Amino acid sequence: MALPKLIPRNVIFGNPDKVSPSISPDGKSLAYIAPHKGVLNVWAGSLEKKDFVPITNDKDRGIRAYFWAPNGKQIIYIQDKGGDENWLLYSTDLKTKQTKCLTPFKGVQARILKVDKHFKNEIIISINKRDKRFHDVFHLNLKSGKIKMVAKNPRNIDSWLVDAKLKVRGASVARPDAGFDIIYRETEKAEWRKIISWDSDDVLASNALGFTKDGKSLCIIDSRGANTGRLVEFGIEANSTKIIASDDEYDIGGIMANPDTYKIEAVTIEKDKSEFIVIDKSIAADISAIKKIRAGEFDIMSRDDADKKWIVVFLVDNGPAYYYLYNRENKKSEFLFVSRQKLLKYKLAEMIPIRFKSRDGLTIHGYITFPPSGLLRRNLPLVLNVHGGPWVRDTWGYNGEAQWFANRGYACLQINYRGSTGYGKKFVNAGDREWGGKMHDDLVDGVKWAIAQGYANPKRICIYGGSYGGYAALVGATFTPDLFCCTVDIVGPSNLITDAKTIPPYWTNYIALMNKRIGNPDTEPEFLKSRSPLFKVDNIKKPILIAHGKNDPRVKLSESMQIINAMKRKKIKYKFMLFRDEGHGFAKPKNKLKFYAAAEKFLAGNLGGRFEK
């Protein structure tokens, strides 16, 4: 049987129609992100009148993250320039539509630390204005625009904890041994003291989330004494721990806390699919009603100040996101919109959870997406799509690239190789010093699994990925060149020595952790050289496509240029795409569509699938 009709690239990778809805503090208005003159901006309007209009007027990269000011009179958003990740904070007045920069400092990065509905004109932010390596904490008055430093970084703090009174009373401190400590002070004038220590083996499965309402306890994800990260209430003075939620195989993922009481109401655990677990019975009836709205994984995105109206999103693997307004008083819901309306016209594919054993006995999880047709799932061309990070993981749900591959006639394999998070500390720590080693073995074992199942044609397999996934793609082209018939690398490191020495300054507190988990460029250059694709460039024998953003602050453009220049010297053929107004990945629709058009033609030429002309 034939494949379903071709989905235009613009439908998958162009701007969404509407995303990220958020309800106003008074529950009367709604904001969301949608295109305005081809650029993503924030729209807002009355829920009753449906008079939605663009509030912001970004004309360049588009807005992708925003929130209502607690006063309900402003929209606050962040934006960088050309992908440089120097995020500045902007405020747009809903009445006048006038926008002003709240952090008008050159070359700095602002981060949002605390927004609380009880403080209408105040938020807490951090800025690396004084020293690009370290973020200090500032109090920002949204009404006047004035900022005031309230905590100075002593050079080793990587993140801060703010209590329910907007006071800075906790912080995460990076240690030279790659561990992290949580420090605490009773008041902003008191001395700091250490209250929690996480060794380096625990840090990727542990994290401090925030204070309880009374400020006497911390809510933390804690893997000490266990394999997985458990949700724990840590009593500061008593040095006590109370387990709120845990799982034997998976780390606790997201949490849902009451904005008034700070009490944990629910948690999510990313298993093969996301599992939503109610902790506080006071919301049980609401969650039961929400589950009946439609099929799919759901999340609570936004709540009004009265906590009577919620914005709920439903996620599926074979369709767009569905957004609803849920009324807690009558337990009824109102459909708002979907993220990509045109997707509903096409037949999309299912994402199927898989697992297999690695060559050394680890259980490896992942997903496979087949072409959505009557074609037999046999001997298909396959794209191994490697996630970035590497300390994140792929999850179930709609994935634009997976749908794109499947629609073009390829199976898409996504593997949560060792070093991926969410599966406990033993699994994530098994990736230590295994870049280009056992982490790559897991990818190879996954491909061999797909071949053994009869799904994949062993002569038509592509390795594809961005960031760490781009590095993995280059490793595939140089370490196991006979396994893959082509390679696509997006913003991937080629030389682990130079990559480590060109990290952004604000990653300084992670150097010890990176040295432990990847390798130390100062003391182990030969080891890192042995794991770097650049030094095995002679092995490249199949077609390769490389793409990079000129302004990438994480993986510098020089990482791509090094291996390109080496291929030039060796007279190895390659294709290269440089995006001068992008950073670590591609944000602008025109750039995304340009890349995907070239990649689609490249894949068709090497895997034999179809492409949009």
Residue numbers annotated as active site: 467, 552, 584
- CB-CB contact of 170 with 187 (8 Å): no
Backbone angles phi, psi at 111, to 5 degrees: -130, 145
> 607, 609, 610: which is closest to 486 by C-alpha?
607
Amino acid identity of 282? S
Q: Which of helix, strand or coil describes residue 277? A: strand
- CB-CB contact of 146 with 125 (8 Å): no
> 172, 177, 224, 173: which is closest to 200 by C-alpha?
177
CA dist list (Å): 142 to 96, 166, 453? 15, 14, 58
Element (H, E) at 603: helix 589-607
Q: Which residues pair with 257 in a beta bridge?
A: 264
Query: Helices 468-479 & 438-452, crossing angle to 10 degrees?
Result: 70
207-232 as b/e, with b when 16 or more CB fall inside 10 Å? bbebbbeebebbbbbbbbebebbbbb
Find tokens 């307004």 and name the residue.
325
Residue 610 burial class via C-beta count within 10 angstroms: exposed 0-12, middle 13-18, buried 19 and up = middle
CA dist list (Å): 108 to 20, 80, 133, 147, 372? 26, 10, 10, 15, 46
> CA 132: distance to chain centroid?
23
Pairing of strands 411-416, 380-386: parallel
Q: Which two tokens stand for residue 46?
A: 């009355």
Dihedral over alpha carbons 8, 13, 18, 20 (to 10 degrees) = 150
Neighbours of 43 (CB within 10 A): 20
Backbone angles phi, psi at 414, to 5 degrees: -120, 125
SS (H, E, C) 55-119: CCCCCCCCCCCEEECCCCCEEEEEECCCCCCCCEEEEEECCCCCEEECCCCCCCCEEEEEECCCC
Task: Report the C-alpha gap between 67 and 180 in whole angstroms.
Answer: 30
Task: Report the C-alpha gap between 359 and 398 in whole angstroms.
Answer: 30
For residue 390, is the peptide bond before it cis, meaning its omega torsion is within 30 degrees of 0?
yes
Cβ contacts of 267 within 8 Å, gap of 6 or more: 231, 244, 245, 252, 253, 254, 255, 256, 276, 277, 279
Q: Which residues pair with 111 in a beta bridge?
A: 126
- CB-CB contact of 233 with 221 (8 Å): no
